[in-house]
Amino acid sequence: MITAERQDFGDNNKNDAVKLPVAGNFPAPVRFFAHFFSYLLHPLFIPLYVIMFLIYVHPSYFSGADSRTKFWLPLTVVQLTIFYPVFSVVLLKALGFADSFFLKTQKDRIIPYIISGIFFFWLFMVFKNYPGELHPAVTAFALGIFLTSSAALMANIYFKISMHAMGMGGLLGLFLVIMTYNTMLMTWPLSIAFLLTGIVCTSRLVVSDHTVKEIYWGLFLGVICQFAAALVLL
């Protein structure tokens, strides 16, 4: 097995590097699809995919919503969960506060987690105070995103938790909440969600230096934070 060296976070006095297992020599097609799914299902895109699912697939959450709501909500999600966080990372890289756009180290992730958490909380407040009152499950999803980013910031103190796994865990958590409250037959959406979660988590093991522990913890926190948000608001 090939190993890579990663400097222990938060301790500049240590000269010894921590040996962590990384992916082996996978065939080029495997690496290509691993990168493809890592980009396609990037955690910043998950909220947009979910809100589109809730608007256009779920039979009741937006059944009485007008076309204005169905247009502005996805646009708001794009603005607060994709554009502003990405712009912040680009700005941090340009100013020298991050070594890479891909946030490969725990140190690089601290400020983006804080900034993204602010925008995610903003999204929650927009949903909570939206004119016409959105379904509580939609607002709970936004709260779950904020809780997940906060949990990621705390976990980042100890290890480099997988953001992709957290995103897919949030997707799974919401679908399980919908199933629990029996507002939609979730057989096929859950089946697809489990399949995509497996693909994304496997992809991160193939093309990143994440360990199995970091993947599992990300998945666990993503699911739990959605459950916690649902308990608060539903």
How far is Cα 112 from Cα 114, in angstroms, rounded to an integer?
Answer: 5
Query: Tens of pLDDT along the chain (234 residues)?
Result: 334 434 444 444 444 434 344 455 789 999 999 999 999 999 999 999 999 999 999 999 998 888 899 999 999 999 999 999 999 999 999 998 888 888 888 999 999 999 999 999 999 999 999 887 789 999 999 999 999 999 999 999 999 999 999 999 999 999 999 999 988 999 999 999 999 999 999 999 999 889 999 999 999 999 999 999 999 998
- pTM score: 0.86
How far is Cα 55 from Cα 61, in angstroms, rounded to an integer?
Answer: 7
pLDDT at 186: 93
The token duo for 98 is 């991050």
Residue 42: strand, helix, or coil: coil
How far is Cα 47 from Cα 69, in angstroms, rounded to an integer?
Answer: 16
How far is Cα 158 from Cα 153, in angstroms, rounded to an integer?
Answer: 10
CA distances to 139, 144, 153, 175 from 61, in Å: 11, 17, 31, 13
Instruction: Give the per-residue SS3 of 117-184.
Output: HHHHHHHHHHHHCCCCCCCHHHHHHHHHHHHHHHHHHHHCCCCCCCHHHHHHHHHHHHHHHHHHCCCC
pLDDT at 5: 38
Provide CB contacts within 8 A for 213, sequence distance 6+.
Answer: 159
pLDDT at 189: 94
How far is Cα 1 from Cα 3, in angstroms, rounded to an integer?
Answer: 6
Per-state percent for the chain, helix, strand, coil, to nearest 5:
65, 5, 30
pLDDT at 26: 84
Domain ranges of the chain: 27-233
- The 10 Å CB-count burial string (b at 16+, else e) for 128-147 is beeeeebbbbbbbbbbbbbb
On whether the CB atoms of residues 178 and 210 are closer than 8 A, the answer is no
How far is Cα 138 from Cα 129, in angstroms, rounded to an integer?
Answer: 12
pLDDT at 19: 39
pLDDT at 65: 86
pLDDT at 201: 96
Residue type present at position 17 = A
pLDDT at 2: 39
